[in-house]
């Protein structure tokens, strides 16, 4: 089910002026009130508070009250090797698991599903979506088991006579990146399936009659026609990936030695394990700013469809 836009109206009707039907204007927006109050108090409020605390030295313990410290928290962050490490790892995590992994695998699955037989399509779709629906912590434990030295991945590699290693120790950021691919590909698959379904069959068939091979059809017809879905999917994947905490927390705790500590885990460590709420909140604010940037890009991509 897709909502369709009403045709733009060419002439004014009574509804544009004084409505002949329906409730009076002041009462119309009343039903929005509960949602707006909830959003203002519990989302907008914390965001505003985030902006405030980020400029203080608020701590968890032993402090009568916080004092204003200007940009100290931010200066400290950009001079902090652990913070820069977290930024770099977040970048690796996002590029590998979201842009490359979820996006391309999701698209590949969506394309293959249009050609596959129904039983295989249903089976594969069901398995991929199950991975997505599982609670984050459960997914973390399953993938922890998979990547451990004594886990299934090494068992398979041994069986294939390929070198195995302690993935969670030697390549922790790649292990959690692949884990996030496993966990999040379903969303991309669903988005791309919906987008591919919108391509008129006649166009693809016409190209096929003209002798265009599969690869050429993909490159010149399919991808251009779903480019907006590619854009929105990339933005949403990136934003979702910026938020990942539980999966990494369960698998590696951000270790060993901070080598899989993305920004959310660094933020958590500073705020709660080091009791530096102000500093942790400054990192949170930076995360929010980056998230806002991608979110605005996402909105821009959506608006081109209107």
Decide whether 10 or 42 has the Cβ nearer to other proteins: 42
Decide whether 171 or 297 has the Cβ nearer to other proteins: 297
Q: Where are the alpha helices (DSSP H) in 118-171?
A: 118-133, 136-147, 152-159, 167-170
Decide whether 43 or 71 has the Cβ nearer to other proteins: 43
Half-sphere exposure of 289 (CA within 13 A, CB side): 10
CB of 70 to other proteins, least distance (A): 18
**Cβ-count burial of 94 within 10 angstroms (0-12 exposed, 13-18 middle, 19+ buried)?**
buried
Number of H helices, E strands in the chain: 18, 0
DSSP string covering 58-106, please? --SSS-S---B-TTHHHHHHHT-HHHHHHHHHHHHHIIIIIIIIIHHHH
CB of 19 to other proteins, least distance (A): 9
CB of 100 to other proteins, least distance (A): 16
CB of 254 to other proteins, least distance (A): 13
Which residues lie closer than 8 Å to 238 by C-beta, 6 or more apart?
94, 98, 99, 294
Q: How far apart are CA 77 and CA 82, in angstroms?
A: 9
Decide whether 114 or 220 has the Cβ nearer to other proteins: 114
Decide whether 75 or 197 has the Cβ nearer to other proteins: 197
Q: How far apart are CA 263 and CA 172, in angstroms?
A: 15
CB of 273 to other proteins, least distance (A): 12
Decide whether 173 or 301 has the Cβ nearer to other proteins: 301
CB of 214 to other proteins, least distance (A): 8
Length of the chain: 306
**Nearest residue to 250 (alpha-carbon basis) of 260, 237, 240, 239:** 260
Q: How far apart are CA 244 and CA 254, in angstroms?
A: 12
CB of 85 to other proteins, least distance (A): 18
Q: How far apart are CA 171 and CA 148, in angstroms?
A: 11
């Amino acid at each position: 089910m897709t909502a369709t836009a009403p045709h733009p109206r060419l002439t004014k009707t009574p509804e544009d002026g004084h409505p002949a039907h329906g409730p009076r204007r002041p009462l119309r927006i009343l039903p929005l009130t509960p949602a707006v109050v909830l959003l203002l108090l519990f989302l907008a409020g914390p965001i505003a508070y985030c902006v405030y605390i980020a400029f203080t030295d608020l701590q968890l313990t032993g402090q009568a009250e916080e004092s204003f410290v200007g940009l100290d928290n931010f200066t400290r962050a950009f001079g902090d090797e652990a913070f820069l490490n977290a930024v770099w790892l977040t970048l690796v995590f996002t590029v590998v698991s979201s842009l490359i992994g979820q996006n391309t695998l999701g698209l590949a699955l969506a394309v293959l599903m249009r050609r596959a037989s129904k039983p295989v399509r249903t089976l594969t779709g069901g398995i991929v979506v199950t991975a997505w629906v599982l609670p984050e912590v459960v997914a973390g434990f399953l993938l922890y088991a998979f990547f451990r030295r004594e886990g299934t991945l090494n068992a398979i590699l041994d069986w294939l006579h390929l070198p195995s290693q302690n993935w969670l120790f030697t390549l922790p950021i790649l292990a959690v990146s692949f884990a996030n691919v496993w966990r999040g590909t379903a969303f991309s698959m669903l988005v791309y399936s919906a987008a591919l379904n919108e391509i008129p069959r006649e166009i693809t068939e016409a190209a096929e009659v003209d002798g265009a091979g599969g690869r050429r059809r993909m490159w010149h017809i399919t991808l251009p026609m779903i480019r907006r879905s590619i854009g929105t999917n990339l933005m949403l994947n990136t934003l979702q990936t910026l938020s990942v905490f539980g999966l990494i927390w369960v698998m590696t705790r951000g270790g060993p030695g901070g080598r899989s500590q993305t920004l959310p885990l660094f933020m958590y460590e500073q705020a709660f394990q080091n009791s530096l709420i102000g500093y942790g909140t400054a990192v949170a604010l930076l995360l929010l700013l980056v998230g806002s940037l991608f979110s605005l890009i996402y909105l821009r991509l959506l608006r081109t469809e209107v």
